[in-house]
Structure 1
Amino acid sequence: MDTFEAISTRRAIKKFDPNHKMTSEEVDSLMKLTILSPTSYNQQNWRFVTVTDQSIKEKIGVAARNQAQPVDGSLVILLCGNMSAWKDDPLRYWKNHPTEKQELVKASLEKKYADSPQNRRDEAIRSCGFAGQTIMLAARQMGLDSCPMVGFDYDEMAKIIELPDDHLIVLMIVVGKSLEPAKQRGGQLRLDEVVFKNKFN
């Protein structure tokens, strides 16, 4: 499967095969690809909680308003933003570059995020968005299906995964094997309704 096919065949699956299990090697392979997703200043401010334990998946299912996907899917991934990443030993984000570059990035991170909780939150959401698409396309390439989800009780989910205080849950993605094909797409808008050349008309 090539990238174009992965994009065109990726769908939000609602019914997963509860008997399909991913191996730990498959999960690791998926996450190794995921952490290649871009982040501003390479601060890698996403954090991922991967859940395969059935008892925890069932608790997540309850927090997700009793939707079946987390319970039946092979893997549940909670995508969270670490809003302290900008100051968490930032020189390591550019460890393969000269000290001058590392110090420049450190100063830039401090300037943008130190006094702006909004910037930290926005960046966490952006970073997790990039990572989420990577997860879904990589899963498709692996012959798997996925479902991005935001319909859950965030406070309850935070308790289940023991979310640190300086982290934010952005979304959840379930990965597994579909039990049945996805329904027909709801309907895409025309390209000229959403794409504007050079500026808004």
Structure 2
Amino acid sequence: MDTFQAIRERRAIKSFDATHRFSQQEEDLLIDMATQAPSSFNIQHWRLVNVKDTELRARIRAAAVDQPQVTDASLLYVICADVKAWQKEPNRYYRNAPQEVQNLLVPWMKDFYEYNEQLQRDEAVRSASFIAHTMMLSAKAMGYDSCPLIGFNPIEVARLINLPDNHIIAMMLAIGKGTNLPWPKPGYVDRKEILFENSF
């Protein structure tokens, strides 16, 4: 499936074939594509918890208003982000870059983030959102469906996955073989409400 088609056909699917399983090769491809997502300063804040344990999935479902896609989808990822990733071996983010690029960006990263806690969190959420969207489009291109979820108790899910300090949960993402067609797209905001030239 080409990129434009994947973008147009991606929908949040709620019903999945609970018997379907991804092959390891498919999972590897999905993650390989996902990690091509952009991130500020190439920090790659994302941390993905692939929930495979069925009992843990059931507990997460209970913390997610009993939404069936949590347990029925082939894959369930808790999309997390390390808010302090910017300060963890920052040289590794540029190890393949030209030396002059490393000399510029690695020190700048510290200056950019160090005293701005809100920016650190914002960037972590942005990076997690980028990878989640890349995963959704990749899944669609592979012939699968997905459903991002924010309707859950983040404190309970954090406890269940043993979320480390300085990490946040951005969303969960269910991926699998959809079993129903979505209703028609419900509607779009008029373009004049979302697109402006030069200023509002």
TM bucket, shorter chain: over 0.9
103-112 or 171-180, which moves further after superposition? 103-112
Provide the rounded CA distance (Å) in 2 between the counterparts of 1:43 and 1:95.
12
Shift of 1:52: 2.5
TM-score (norm 1): 0.95
Structure 1 unaligned segments of length 5 or more: list them: none
Identity within the alignment, %: 41
List structure 1 runs of 4+ shifted beyond 4 angstroms. none
Provide the rounded CA distance (Å) in 2 between the counterparts of 1:197 and 1:98.
37
Aligned twin of 1:177: 177
Aligned twin of 2:167: 167
3-state SS, counterpart of residue 196 of structure 1: coil
Note the alpha carbon deviations across 1:118-177, whole angstroms, 9 max, x for none: 011000111111111100000000000000110100011111111101101011110001
Residue type at the aligned position of 1:171: M
Aligned twin of 1:78: 78
Provide the rounded CA distance (Å) in 1 between the counterparts of 2:98 and 2:47.
27
Label 1:44 to 1:80 Cα distance change in 2 as closer, same or farther (>3 A).
same
**Is 1:197–2:190 an aligned residue pair?**
no
Residue type at the aligned position of 1:150: I
1:91, 1:103 within 8 Å by CA — same for their partners in 2? Answer: no
Aligned twin of 2:67: 67
Shift of 1:197: 2.4
99-108 or 113-122, which moves further after superposition? 99-108
Residue type at the aligned position of 1:159: R
Note the alpha carbon deviations across 1:56-103, whole angstroms, 9 max, x for none: 211111111111111100001111110111110000100012344323
Provide the rounded CA distance (Å) in 1 between the counterparts of 2:4 and 2:189.
19
Shift of 1:8: 0.5
Provide the rounded CA distance (Å) in 1 between the counterparts of 2:102 and 2:80.
25
3-state SS, counterpart of residue 38 of structure 1: coil
185-194 or 126-135, which moves further after superposition? 185-194
Report the RMSD for the aligned CA atoms in angstroms. Answer: 1.2
Residue type at the aligned position of 1:64: A
Provide the rounded CA distance (Å) in 1 between the counterparts of 2:122 and 2:75.
26
Residue type at the aligned position of 1:169: I
Shift of 1:47: 0.9
Provide the rounded CA distance (Å) in 1 between the counterparts of 2:52 and 2:179.
18
1:75, 1:174 within 8 Å by CA — same for their partners in 2? Answer: yes
User: What are the within-5 Å matches in structure 2 for residues 1-201 of structure 1?
Assistant: 1-200=1-200
1:6, 1:140 within 8 Å by CA — same for their partners in 2? Answer: yes
3-state SS, counterpart of residue 21 of structure 2: coil
Provide the rounded CA distance (Å) in 1 between the counterparts of 2:160 and 2:88.
25
33-42 or 21-30, which moves further after superposition? 21-30
TM-score (norm 2): 0.96
Residue type at the aligned position of 2:32: K
Residue type at the aligned position of 2:80: C
Residue type at the aligned position of 2:160: I
Corresponding pairs, count: 200
